[in-house]
A and B are shown apart, each in its own frame.
Chain A
Amino acid sequence: DGGITQSPKYLFRKEGQNVTLSCEQNLNHDAMYWYRQDPGQGLRLIYYSQIVNDFQKGDIAEGYSVSREKKESFPLTVTSAQKNPTAFYLCASSIGQGVTEAFFGQGTRLTVV
């Protein structure tokens, strides 16, 4: 079955450590996105990529980094520069520009301890 997979589901990180969240899709989608969601809040765009080897900053990119070396993979690294990283992170993919429907992974809940 086609879909988008995030791992791990729960992640704990010590302050000062970098951590990488995985996002893989087998939908053959060109575009991929990372969003951050805080309790009771909406979806804020961190980074997005429309094509392999290219990505763009979203509204809250500071303290995060991404790569897009393969079409199916779009990992997100939360660096120590992100001052408040505890949140729910969602990865999504879509066919491309002007997308009418995006598909989401089940999310990774990151907690800094």
Chain B
Amino acid sequence: GQSLEQPSEVTAVEGAIVQINCTYQTSGFYGLSWYQQHDGGAPTFLSYNALDGLEETGRFSSFLSRSDSYGYLLLQELQMKDSASYFCAAPNTPLVFGKGTRLSVIA
């Protein structure tokens, strides 16, 4: 079986940095992916980590530690438009998601 745990809500100030954690238990580990979903919209892919370490894509970075079964998404220079839900996912078969973290960016 597979399970991914992440905090349900996070609030951060515009311009700040926020970290969204994800711990997982999966069989046949293929890495960790992250998705963003705005209210009423479709999830969109943000990043993927196959190996340990930090992957950077603009303001967003994602980290993975396979030995700790842990990863996180780091958002820098927060903007109001970053207010959304963020999901970690185990790209196994089938594709399974965590319950999501709702990020609220406040002024």
B60-85, CB < 8 A from A: none
Q: Are B43 and A90 in contact (CB under 8 A)?
A: yes
- Residues A42 and B31 in contact in the complex (CB < 8 Å), given A50-B93, A100-B91: no
Hey, which chain B residues are within 8 Å of A41, CB to CB? Answer: 99-100
Q: Are B95 and A42 in contact (CB under 8 A)?
A: no
Hey, which chain B residues are within 8 Å of A75, CB to CB? Answer: none
**In the complex, A47 Cα to B42 Cα: how many Å?**
18
Q: Are B41 and A101 in contact (CB under 8 A)?
A: no
Hey, which chain A residues are within 8 Å of B92, CB to CB? Answer: 97-98
Question: Residue on A with the closest CB to B93?
Answer: A97
- Residues A106 and B98 in contact in the complex (CB < 8 Å), given A98-B30, A98-B91, A100-B91: no
Q: Are A42 and B100 in contact (CB under 8 A)?
A: yes
Asked whether B44 is an interface residue with its Cβ less than 8 Å from the other chain, the reply is: yes
**In the complex, A42 Cα to B97 Cα: how many Å?**
7
Question: Residue on A with the closest CB to B49?
Answer: A100
Asked whether B33 is an interface residue with its Cβ less than 8 Å from the other chain, the reply is: yes
- Residues A92 and B95 in contact in the complex (CB < 8 Å), given A104-B42, A106-B41: yes
Query: A43 touches which one: B33, B50, B97 (CB < 8 A)?
Result: B97
Asked whether A56 is an interface residue with its Cβ less than 8 Å from the other chain, the reply is: yes
Q: Are B94 and A56 in contact (CB under 8 A)?
A: yes
A94-113, CB < 8 A from B: 94, 97-107
Query: B93 touches which one: A98, A101, A103 (CB < 8 A)?
Result: A98
Against A, the Cβ 8 Å flags (1 = close, 0 = not) of B24-38 are 000000110101000
Q: Are A101 and B97 in contact (CB under 8 A)?
A: no
Which residues of B are in contact with A by a Cβ distance under 8 Å? 30-31, 33, 35, 40-45, 48, 50, 87, 89, 91-100, 102
Which residues of A are in contact with B by a Cβ distance under 8 Å? 31, 33, 35, 40-43, 45, 48, 50, 56, 58, 90, 92, 94, 97-107
